């Protein structure tokens, strides 16, 4: 199961990478502490044989995958299933794909969350409400909500990366500090 207090891991197996991406997809807009056990329930039900790719399993058994998502209470069922099938059809190598390639399938925040916490020296940061609060605390004028992909999102990401550089922190260290300060984990 994903330990939400220790998500950084640059040495995940293929199965662990798929689990981490599934968590990254499912957690959007929800509390990590609630989603982690639901993802584990989903994976136990939908993906009993981890020798096979999770995305392949969703492609071959969409009904079983959808039922397992509903049983686990993941939410956004059709959208998540489409995402999993797209990952399979496009043959995305989640260990090496770029932020831009992954972003087209899972969105900017999910792509950056996944890559930041699974690849050493990743130079990206997912923009969420916690990061926006941090930027406001630094005196920056930023929107209340996270913008969709595109120039506005990239501008905010560049601003946060600049703040990390100014503090001589890696992107992952700053993101972890922000999340620890602003997120409610209980």
Q: What is the pLDDT of residues 103-138, one digit of tens each?
A: 999 999 999 999 999 999 999 999 999 999 999 999
| pLDDT at residue 166, as a whole number | 98
Tokens representing residue 116 in the block: 């930041």
Tell whether the torsion through CA atoms of 161, 162, 163 and 167 is positive or negative.
positive
Lowest mean pLDDT among 99-103, 164-168, 170-174, 181-185: 181-185
| pLDDT at residue 47, as a whole number | 86
pLDDT above 70: residue 45 = yes
DSSP 98: -
User: E-strand spans in 45-167?
Assistant: none
Average pLDDT over the chain reads 93
> What is the CB neighbour count within 10 angstroms for residue 96?
8
| pLDDT at residue 185, as a whole number | 59
What region, left, alpha or beta, does residue 143 occupy, with left being phi > 0 and alpha being psi -120 to 50 degrees? beta
pLDDT above 60: residue 99 = yes
pLDDT above 80: residue 85 = yes
Lowest mean pLDDT among 16-20, 44-48, 68-72, 133-137: 44-48
């Amino acid at each position: 199961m994903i330990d939400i207090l220790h998500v950084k891991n640059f040495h995940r197996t293929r199965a662990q990478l798929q689990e981490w991406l599934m968590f990254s997809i499912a957690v959007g807009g929800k509390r990590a502490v609630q989603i982690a056990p639901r993802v584990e329930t989903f994976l136990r039900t939908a993906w009993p044989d981890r020798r096979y790719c999770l995305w392949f399993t969703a492609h071959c058994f969409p009904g079983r995958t959808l039922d397992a998502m509903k049983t686990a209470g993941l939410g956004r069922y059709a959208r998540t299933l489409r995402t999993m099938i797209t990952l399979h059809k496009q043959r995305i190598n989640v260990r090496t794909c770029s932020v831009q390639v992954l972003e087209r399938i899972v969105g900017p925040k999910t792509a950056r969350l996944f890559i930041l916490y699974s690849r050493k020296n990743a130079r990206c940061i997912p923009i969420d409400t916690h990061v926006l609060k941090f930027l406001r605390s630094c005196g920056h004028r930023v929107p209340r909500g996270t913008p969709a992909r595109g120039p506005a999102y990239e501008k905010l990401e560049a601003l946060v990366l600049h703040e990390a550089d100014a503090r001589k922190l890696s992107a992952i260290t700053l993101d972890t500090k922000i999340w620890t300060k602003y997120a409610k984990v209980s």
